[in-house]
Amino acid sequence: MLLQNKVAIITGAARGIGRGIAVKFAEEGCSCVVADILEKEAAVTVAKIADRGQKGLFVECDVSDSRRVSAMVDRATSEFGHVDILVNNASIGGTPKFITDKTEEEWDRLLAINLKGMFLCSKAIVPHMIARKHGKIINISSVQAISPPAPNIEYSASKAGILGLTLDLAFELAPLGICVNAILPGAVPTDMWNIVPPGVDRERFFAEVGKVIAPMQRCGTPEDIAGAAIFLASDLSNYVTGDRIIVAGGAPLLVSSSTDGKFFGTGHQ
């Protein structure tokens, strides 16, 4: 197993990509701390981890609150003795609309969770990794950081900011034996996606979306993202830091305007 006897904190692991990563990590021998605010959904993730023969622990945590983040890390290290891996995955999505229609409150809330949350979680875990002279931090960004398909300025800015955070943190921590990398998922239909028109079958809708936005002609799955995360979390990537892996079925190869806002944007006339 690639992650035998490892311990990971995965934020936003109650569902979606975070759950997919947690379950795959467990299959590779990793115990997982499920850090989230969704207790009911997190219980499902913890059960799936247990089904794979590993220990899962739910810790309620709002990643935008430094006190709760510190308490979460303290609980994790107290329970398991150490933490080898941090997956900064917790995120919310914005509503596609033109900049003049965005509010300051929308900007502040999203940046607090998507970007500040990664800073706080990394800051809290780094001392523990430094003490062990080893660690893996994986930041979940998005292809929207480099190829925005819609007017969703605060979301795109947050995901682009993650790339800067990743590079700087990787540079700081490389001499200390800690690797920091980013994954840029493409379209992965999760509960966070609320773009399906009323009365339209969700599965069929995203099947059609996949044909348009990715050369591989399908949307991604949480398992697709988890595969890259396992590589970055394991010893296979011990000489990889400050890098990014795009997991998007080739989506960046397409011109981002090719959808004409059909699936993601509202446009502005």
Does 239 participate in catalysis according to the annotation? no
User: Could you tell me the two tokens for 98?
Assistant: 């033109």
Residue 58 lies inside a defined structural domain of this protein: yes
Residue 267 lies inside a defined structural domain of this protein: no
pLDDT at 255 over 70: no
pTM of the shown model: 0.91
79-93, 144-158, 229-243: which has the minimum mean pLDDT?
144-158
Distance in angstroms between the alpha carbons of the first and the last residue of the chain: 54
> How does the average pLDDT of the chain come out, rounded?
91
pLDDT at 263 over 50: no
Q: Supply the pLDDT for residue 262.
A: 45
- Counting the structural domains of the chain, the total is 1
* DSSP at 49: H
Q: Mean of the pLDDT values across residues 99-106?
A: 93
Distance between CA atoms of residues 181 and 136, nearest Å: 8
- Please report which confidence band the pLDDT of residue 193 belongs to, taking 50, 70 and 90 as the band edges: low
Residue 131 lies inside a defined structural domain of this protein: yes
User: Could you tell me the two tokens for 89?
Assistant: 């995955």
What are the strands, taking DSSP E only, across 30-162? 31-36, 56-60, 85-88, 135-140
pLDDT at 261 over 70: no
CB 68 within 8 A of CB 61: yes
Q: Which domain holds residue 121?
A: 7-259
User: Could you tell me the two tokens for 163?
Assistant: 């790339």
Residue 1 lies inside a defined structural domain of this protein: no
Q: Supply the pLDDT for residue 149.
A: 66
pLDDT at 35 over 60: yes
Q: What is the pLDDT of residues 78-101, one digit of tens each?
A: 999 999 999 999 999 888 889 999
Query: How much of the chain, in percent, has pLDDT values that exceed 90?
Result: 75
Catalytic site residue from 58, 155, 206, 264: 155
Residue 264 lies inside a defined structural domain of this protein: no
Distance between CA atoms of residues 234 and 105, nearest Å: 39
Residue 177 lies inside a defined structural domain of this protein: yes
Calculated CA dihedral for residues 260, 250, 162, 11, nearest 10 degrees:
110
Residue 268 lies inside a defined structural domain of this protein: no
Distance between CA atoms of residues 91 and 180, nearest Å: 18
Residue 174 lies inside a defined structural domain of this protein: yes
Residue 121 or 192, more confident = 121
Q: Supply the pLDDT for residue 221.
A: 93
Q: What is the SS3 assignment for 118?
A: helix
Distance between CA atoms of residues 24 and 46, nearest Å: 12
Distance between CA atoms of residues 248 and 147, nearest Å: 12
User: Could you tell me the two tokens for 157?
Assistant: 């800015």
Say which CATH number the domain at 202 has: 3.40.50.720
| Owner of token pair 């806002």 | 261
